[in-house]
């Protein structure tokens, strides 16, 4: 079933419209015919190798595996859409960076670090895009919400885990953060954003590309 398994997984990845984990791939099969985890991983490896000379590649992100257009082709592929690439304000990127590097963190703590108030629209935008979520409430007066990043955040920035965020080697003590440091964090995350914003496509986007059409969220807060 090895060759058939490769084709099944390749087809599922193209049609899924979102990353697929190994566990979810296993559920494509009836229990009596379900391949082992090792067999699925071996088939995924073959699927990836088949992409070596193609314009797209198989990548692993936090939620699983997906096809996406190669970054080296972004200049040409990006011309298929008239919309401007997504651009994010410095304030939004600083806020997102602080959440990513210091999570869980409250809005008040973000404001203390940045030295300015955090717009309600920024928090709303990050939550609407499912990059940030509330993970609890700080046990202090007012019980402010604590924010952390999501799997969708990792998926969007082509990350498998937070460990793959650009290192902030120059930072010795996070407790001594300042507004200047917030900007350094923003630039670190922005560098990842710049790499993926123009060419970021999940399996759904790849399927739409085959039809000659795709959609991207280019809203700028």
* Cα–Cα distance for residue pair 20/98, rounded to 1 Å: 29
In a domain, 216, yes or no: no
Are residues 95 and 191 located together in one domain of the fold? yes
User: Residue 137 sits in which domain range?
Assistant: 90-196
* Residue 48 neighbours by CB under 8 Å, 6+ apart: 57, 58
Note whether residue 218 is domain-resident: no
Domain match, 192 and 115 both: yes
* 99, 189: one domain: yes
Q: Which residues contact 215 (CB under 8 A, 6 or more apart)?
A: 208
Residue 20 lies in a domain: yes
CA distance 38 to 120: 47
> Model confidence over 140-181: pLDDT tens digits?
899 999 999 999 999 888 888 888 887 765 444 444 444 444
Q: Is the domain of 64 the same as that of 138? A: no
134 & 158 share domain: yes
142 within domain boundaries:
yes
Q: What is the CATH number of the domain that holds 121?
A: 1.10.10.10
Judged by average pLDDT, the poorest of 88-92, 96-100, 116-120, 201-205 is 201-205
CA distance 85 to 214: 13
In a domain, 221, yes or no: no
CA–CA distances in Å: residue 123 to residues 37, 130, 141, 146, 149: 39, 11, 21, 12, 12
Answer whether residue 73 is part of any domain: yes
Query: What's the total number of domains in the chain?
Result: 2
Residues 58 and 126 in one domain: no
Angle, helices 90-102 vs 179-196, to 10°: value is 100
34-80 pLDDT per residue, tens? 999 999 999 999 999 999 989 999 999 999 999 999 988 888 887 88
In a domain, 143, yes or no: yes
Residue 191 lies in a domain: yes
């Amino acid at each position: 079933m090895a060759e058939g398994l490769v084709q099944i997984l390749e087809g599922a990845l193209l049609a899924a419209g979102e990353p697929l984990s190994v566990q979810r791939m296993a559920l494509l099969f009836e229990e009596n015919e379900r391949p082992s985890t090792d067999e699925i991983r071996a088939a995924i490896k073959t699927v990836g190798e088949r992409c070596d000379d193609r314009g797209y590649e198989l990548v692993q992100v936090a939620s699983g595996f997906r096809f996406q257009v190669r970054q080296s082709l972004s200049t040409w592929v990006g011309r298929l859409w008239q919309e401007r690439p997504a651009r994010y304000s410095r304030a939004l990127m600083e806020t997102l960076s602080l959440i990513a590097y210091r999570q869980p963190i409250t809005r008040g703590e973000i404001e203390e670090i940045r030295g300015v108030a955090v717009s309600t629209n920024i928090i709303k935008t990050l939550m609407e895009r499912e990059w940030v979520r509330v993970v609890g409430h700080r046990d202090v007066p007012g019980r402010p919400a604590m924010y952390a990043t999501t799997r969708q955040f990792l998926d969007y920035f082509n990350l498998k885990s937070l460990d793959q965020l650009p290192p902030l080697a120059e930072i010795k003590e996070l407790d001594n953060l300042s507004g200047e440091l917030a900007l350094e964090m923003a630039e670190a995350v922005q560098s990842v954003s710049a790499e993926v914003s123009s060419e970021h496509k999940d399996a759904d986007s790849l399927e739409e590309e085959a039809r000659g059409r795709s959609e991207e969220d280019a809203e700028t807060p």
